[in-house]
Structure 1
Amino acid sequence: MNFLSKIKNFFKPDKAQKFKHILKKIWAYAWPPLLGIVVIILVLAGLYGPSLKITYQEAMVGRKDLEAAQNNIVRQEFSDAQVNLKTGQAHLELAQTKLQKLKSLKKLPYIKNQIIAVDNLLSAGISTISGIKRLSSWAETVIKPFKAGKTFNLGELKPKQKDAILKAIYQAQPDLQAAKASIDLAMTQLDQIPKSGLISKINDAVKPFLEQLPQIQEGIAQAIPASKVIPGLLGYPSQQNYLFLLQNNSELRPTGGFIGTYGIIKIKSGEVVSFTTDNVYNLDDKAKKLNITPPAPLIQYNKTKKWFFRDSNWSPNFPTAAQEALSFYRREGGPERKIDGVIAVDPEVFKNLLRLTGPITINKKTFTSNNLVDELQYLTGYAYVNNIKIDTTQRKSIIGELGRSMIDKVLHLSKDKYGKAWTIFNEAVTQKHLLIWAANKSQQGILESLQWAGSVQSPSGDNLMVVDANIASLKTDPVIKKTISYELNKDNDQLVANLTLKYENTGKLTWKTTRYRTYTRIYVPLGSKLISSEGAMVECNSKKTGQVETFTELDHTVFGVFTCTEMGATKELKLKYQLSPRIAAQLEQGDYNLLVQKQPGTLATNFNVKVDLGGKLTSSFSLDKSAKIRQNSFTDTTNLEINREYSFKVEN
């Protein structure tokens, strides 16, 4: 009998009657419970409906107040923001009070998670408002001198008004600490929200908090030490004098670039009292009688016979290089006796500031962010070398004029650009285009903690830092495409690393570009051992195989090697080495951490990493989209615009 005939027989009159009878029985049994559920819903709606409605309405109004406060803070209208925050907090507190009447509903499994989530979300909102209120109150104190002077222009403020601003920043600790405590509490309250089983509207409300609150927390954590050190660096309460180094990263050196120009900056209460610059050779040429032995690679590959100020930044650790530069400045007869610190910048800082201030014209020559480097190199290099009528001792005076003009423009920025100016500063120190060393040990300690000091870190886990030094290769670095590839595998009980450095010289022979000669130092964990190498050279045209030196420096094992990349060619340097047993011991405990440190002055060097440790990997913190974990293997294809850090738990 086929399927259709079965269906037909089922609906015969006698069977149809039986089916109706069954439905009646089901309905008879189901009706009382269904009716009971309807009654319960109606009762709950009657009892809790008003509280639910008020909770929702108050939360929405509180949210609007928060958004209004955010807009006022962006406009630096902190008094208005305070009003918004106060009313917003009141609305959220009322919403939470009404929510307490729903606590008896927690006995219902599904409803329970929703109430817990909303309760903690409201608590986090109230804590966040409390923290931001402290911050905006402090910010109002900071900008009070601007209002008193009826201007939001730093350049037009009087010294006493600048003093008041720096004093407010210096005294910020109680407000910042209180704000931090409130935001930390908000983070704890967010962590108590159930991770699943929430309705979409609650999830949508939680998501912005989860995205934005960690950023606020990180910002306050940075602001606390920054507020301690910034006033002092800016000459409050006493004047600060700095040795200024302009490092040309088109001719890369360990801490950022060749020192072609130096200067002295004097700052008092946030005001630049004076800023003078000079050609570094003017100082070096007067000190030819000095007989200081240069670092060995400069002797071997650059034929350098004596060590001078211009080559003083040989250490990639800026605190070391800064003190070396200051020592040379003094030994070579630098006139300023009182020096409180050293500030080094490369042209990237000036380029970014020009994007903010707009073009600057010096001696009928207009500088923009696009032409700055090329114009300066031409005017201070090629144009002077080929014009014997010009006094070469003055060839870099234009840099001082440009610097003074830029400082003046920054001080006269409108208030809506202050946020962008801070972003430029923060990116400059994070990306190591601006480095600061302070002679004051307390200030230096804070600079180290903020990672503004350009220090080479010595972490307990795996680490890698590749440091190049352009050796007599003109201004060739901008045409070099460099890729660092790091691969780590477990070989029995050992961890074996394979490092490949690829240099692609895209340049041609010009007055500023040529073959690329570099002495490279690779900093790896102390105790690591070189297994093999490929690509080391003795000299550009030599057929002899070069040697990789192994030595200890800055609490690292260091591999030093020379290579040369001809124009239009690609060169690869390969190193295979065994990681320190200390890292293998950490892996046995289920931990693997990797810090890849960027060399100061470099741009976004390509970086590839692949790690396979023979066990399942779980990242200890969120990874960029470029990073991928597949069971035992981790890969990332990114760049070294900043330091890169990875942390994993490993299941062996």
Structure 2
Amino acid sequence: MHIFSRRPSGHDADGADDAVRDTDEGAGLWQRREVRIAALATVLVSTGFVCWLGIRAVEAKSALEHARSGAQQVKEALMQGDTDAAVEAAERTYAQASAARSAAHSLPWNVAASVPWLGSPLKTTQEISDVVLNLAADVLKPAAQVGTVMSPNSLFQDGRLDVGVLRAKQPALSAIADSAARLDMDAAAISEPAYLGPVGDARAALQDQTSDVAEMLENTALAAQLAPSMMGADGPRTYFMGFQTNAEARGTGGLLGGFGVLRFNDGRFTVDDLGANTELDKPFTPIDLGPEYNEQYGFTNPTTDFRNSNQSSHFPYAAQIWRSMWKQQTGMTVDGVVAIDPVALSYILGAVGSITMPDGEKITKDNVVELTESTAYQRFPDDQTARKRYLQDIANEVVKKMSKPVESPRKLLDALGRAVSEGRIAVWSADAEDQTLLEKTPLAHIVPDDAAPYAEVIVNNLAGNKLDYHLTRDIEYVADQCVGDTRMSTVTVRLTNTLGENPSLPEYVAGSMGLRQDIPVTLPNGTMLTSVRLLATQGAELVGATANGDRTPVLTSSERGHPGFEVQVAIPPNQSGELQFRLSEPTAAGSPRVPVQPLVDEVSPRISVPECSR
């Protein structure tokens, strides 16, 4: 038996099948068309988004570059005293910074920046734009406005600093400096991009720029705090002014060769004629600068003998000694002490112009150092009184030149600033509040009492001659990476006696009169006999020291928490010597510092010390 299924006639069945197939095919075509349309729309939207983001990126990049350039123009204009240019540049910078931030915080940028890892450079750029805008709004624009009344040409006229204006603008300057310091911290906190080197470079450039601006404004605010009181805004101030002869090296620069009294009254200054160091001739009563100082220097009678009064590089020690000597010599109690050297005089002459001595001799920025540190000793080989009078006359003429109207106050302030940065002008105040502020600046010339990496090389002339005019120095400080509690470091000092062989110089220039009589040593004429002392990082320990590659004995001491390591060397004419101190020092936080003792030569220490974070 067969069983058959029931179905319609063949025509009707085929028609039904065709209808079903047509419907399915139509639906499939429509679905595929929807997918293509959606895909096309996605591509179009994505392309538009990328293009939009790209346009905003170009806008942000261009605006940020112009803003950073404008910020530098503001700084340079302020430094040059061109206040109109500073105001214009500040306005341009603000406009560019606003455009950059607007582009960097646009919708496509915000969306893209939120993508993990891929959005990292965009997030960094947003942070950069925020800092640049705040820098323009909170620092550059107000600084330019204050600068309109504080340009050097208006502040310093006819030998007088307008201390009234400086004091009136001090609160505004301090507020701007605080804003700059805050933005410097914000810039330091900008996240490092996960990739895209140019964004990382822009981040680093901005961090350097904000750091420079913050430092400049901090120094300006400090000057506005210090200058009025120290320059006689509240009544006359007097300072002992020591003229250091760095042809005979001492810790603060050079031997105290002459002195005068610097007077300030309402921003105007005068200087009493300089006197010779031999006028400090009383049997002085010593002063107590503490057991550490006495242990290191006491055997040389530094507080009663001006020749040994500034062996330490910590200027407040020398200042207090000189103030005490002057009080005992004259009965005058000065408000502070200032030190200056012939190289600083050369910078000043470069700003105010040359001077002409009564006999017609012309003293310029190019010859004043050689005349005072070398030529004078040969010109007056047997007449010390005449030589000292000659040096005093030069210094007096330079000071008189400064007190008269100068063509460019900006150049004079730049010259003084350079001398201060090199330690060639140092200042100490008997007023505790002023001294606290001074110690935030290079003017104080102090040995810092902190734990950051430190290497200061201090030279003291032991022979009592004037040969350090011919001394050149090379200093290098290197250290290992920041691994562990301590790391190894090396300080290398190279000294060269550039004096030619067989020098024909007076005995007091090239001899060894300062050598102790009980030391049976005979040195060739022109030989440098020098104490070389390294003040190292607090907590550092000496592993070993060498002189020209051979192990050498070392005298140890301490000063203001820093360990001291001293080697005494003799360097004949036209020869060099190398000392190397190998140390184990703490991996302390902070930037490494290598202060340079202000002698005749210029030294640029080489520093290869990684900065540790702890």
Smaller-chain TM-score bracket: 0.7 to 0.9
Note the alpha carbon deviations across 1:448-486, whole angstroms, 9 max, x for none: 122321111233255333222112352211322334456
1:282 partnered with 2:284 = no
User: Matches of residues 14-33 of structure 1 in structure 2 within 5 Å?
Assistant: none
C-alpha spacing 1:295/1:473, structure 2 compared with 1 (3 Å):
farther
Instruction: Provide Cα deviations, 1:230-255, integer angstroms capped at 9, x if missing partner.
Output: 22222222221111111111111111
1:134 aligns with 2:126: no
Q: 1:463 aligns with which of 432, 454, 457?
A: 454
Contact residue 473 and residue 601 of structure 2 kept, 8 A: no
- The one of 484, 498, 510 aligned to 1:506: 498
The one-letter code sitting in structure 1 at the alignment partner of 2:457 is V
How far apart, in 2, do the equivalents of 1:237 and 1:136 lie?
A: 28
Flag the 1:199–1:44 CA change in 2: closer, same or farther, 3 A. Answer: farther
Deviations 1:296-324 (A, max 9, x none): 99999x9x999532432122211011111
**Larger mean Cα displacement after TM superposition, 87-96 or 41-50:** 41-50
> Higher relative CO (CA 8 A, sep ≥ 6), structure 1 or 2?
2
Give the number of the structure whose alpha-carbon radius of gyration is greater.
2
Q: Is the 8 A contact 1:124 1:190 kept in 2?
A: no
Q: For 2:237, which of 216, 240, 246 is the aligned residue?
A: 240
In the alignment, is residue 405 of structure 1 matched against residue 438 of structure 2?
Answer: no
Q: Would the alpha carbon gap of residues 348 and 115 (structure 1) be closer, same or farther in structure 2, given more than 3 Å must change? A: same
Q: Identify which of 512, 527, 534 aligns with 1:515.
A: 527
Offset, 1:115: 5.7
Q: Deviations over 1:475-516 (max 9, x none)?
A: 211322334456768999986666554433221322344210
For 2:193, the equivalent position in structure 1 comes to 195
Distance 1:217 1:35, change over 3 A: same
User: Pairwise mapping of residues 361-510 of structure 1 onto structure 2 (< 5 A)?
Assistant: 361-363=356-358, 364-377=360-373, 380-386=376-382, 394-408=389-403, 411-414=405-408, 418=410, 420-484=411-475, 501-508=493-500, 509=503, 510=505
Query: SS of 1:449's equivalent?
Result: coil
Aligned equivalents of 2:184, 2:543: Cα separation in 1? 51
For residues 549-628 of structure 1, the aligned pairs below 5 Å read: 549-573=555-579, 579=584, 583=585, 595-601=593-599, 603-605=601-603, 607=605
Give the C-alpha shift of residue 180 in structure 1: 3.3
Counterpart-to-counterpart distance in 1, 2:272 and 2:371: 22
Change in 2 beyond 3 A, CA 1:575/1:51: closer
Q: 1:529 to 1:49 in 2, by over 3 A?
A: closer
In structure 1, stretches of 5+ residues that fail to align are 1-27, 537-544, 609-626, 628-635, 637-644
CA contact (8 A) 1:524 1:557 kept: yes
Q: 1:328 to 1:218 in 2, by over 3 A?
A: same
SS at match of 1:436: strand
- Identify if the C-alpha distance between structure 1 residues 63 and 598 changes in structure 2 by more than 3 Å, giving closer, same or farther: closer
Partner of 2:156: 154
Instruction: Please say if 1:39 is aligned against 2:51.
Output: no
What is the correspondence of 1:85-104 to structure 2 with a 5 Å cutoff? Answer: 85-86=90-91, 89=94, 92-93=97-98, 96=101, 102-103=107-108
Q: Secondary structure at the match of 1:648?
A: coil
| Count of aligned pairs | 550
2-side partners of 1:314 and 1:258: how far apart? 9
Q: CA deviation at 1:399?
A: 2.8
Shift of 1:403: 2.6
Aligned to 2:111: 106
CA contact (8 A) 1:459 1:595 kept: no
One-letter code aligned to 1:106: V
Written as runs of structure 1 = structure 2, the 5 A alignment for 1:316-355 is 316-331=313-328, 333-334=329-330, 337-355=332-350
Amino acid at match of 1:450: T
Letter paired with 1:563: V
Supply the distance in 2 between the matched residues of 1:342 and 1:575 (Cα, whole angstroms).
34
1:184 paired to 2:179: no
Q: 1:368 to 1:575 in 2, by over 3 A?
A: same
Query: Could you list the runs of 5+ residues in structure 2 that have no partner in the other structure?
Result: 1-32, 288-292, 511-525
Task: Provide the rounded CA distance (Å) in 1 between the counterparts of 2:86 and 2:392.
Answer: 47
Aligned-pair CA distance for 1:376: 2.4
- Residues 352 and 408 in structure 2, CA contact (< 8 A), matched pair in contact too: no
* Identity level (%): 18
Q: CA deviation at 1:437?
A: 0.6
Q: What is the CA–CA distance in structure 2 between the aligned matches of 1:69 and 1:530, rounded to whole Å?
A: 48
Could you say what secondary structure the match of 2:247 adopts?
A: coil
Cα separation, partners in 2 of 1:206 and 1:375, compared to 1, 3 Å? same
In 2, are the aligned partners of 1:482 and 1:606 still within 8 Å (CA)? Answer: no
* C-alpha distance in 2 between matches for 1:485 and 1:63: 34
Give the structure-2-normalised TM-score. 0.73
Query: In structure 2, the residue corresponding to 1:446 is in which secondary structure?
Result: helix
Inter-partner Cα distance in structure 2 for 1:280 and 1:153: 35
In 1, Cα distance between equivalents of 2:211 and 2:256 = 39
Q: Please, what TM-score do these two structures have when normalized by structure 1?
A: 0.69
Task: Quote the Cα distance in structure 2 between the aligned partners of 1:196 and 1:489.
Answer: 27
Q: Which amino acid aligns with 1:367?
A: I
Change (3 A) 1:385 1:551: same
Question: What residue is the counterpart of 1:267 in the other structure?
Answer: 264
Match for residue 212 of structure 2 among 202, 211, 215: 215
Residue number in structure 2 paired with 1:639: none
Distance of 1:574 and 1:50 partners within structure 2:
58
Distance 1:339 1:316 in 2: 22
Q: Is 2:74–2:90's contact at 8 Å kept on the other side of the alignment?
A: yes
Q: Determine helix, strand or coil for the equivalent of 1:432.
A: coil
Q: Secondary structure at the match of 1:474?
A: coil
Q: Alpha carbons of 1:394 and 1:136: their partners in 2 closer, same or farther (altered >3 Å)?
A: same
The C-alpha deviation readout for 1:16-46, integer Å capped at 9, x for no partner, is xxxxxxxxxxxx9998687445532676599
228 and 41 in structure 1: CA distance in 2 versus 1, 3 angstrom threshold: same
Tell me the SS of whatever aligns to 1:342: strand
The 3 A distance-change label for structure 1 pair 183 and 46 is same
1-structure distance, mates of 2:100, 2:235: 51
AA in 2 matched with 1:124: V
Give the distance between the partners of 1:485 and 1:98, measured in 2 at CA: 47
Q: Check conservation: 2:251, 2:310, Cα contact below 8 A.
A: yes
Residue 203 of structure 1 and its aligned partner are, at CA, apart by: 7.5
d(CA) in 1 for partners of 2:100 and 2:453? 50
Q: Whole-Å Cα distance in 1 between the matches of residues 147 and 573 of structure 2?
A: 54
SS at match of 1:133: helix
In the alignment, is the contact (CA less than 8 A) between 1:505 and 1:568 conserved in 2?
A: yes
Q: Cα offset for 1:550?
A: 3.0
Give the Å deviation of 1:431.
Answer: 2.0
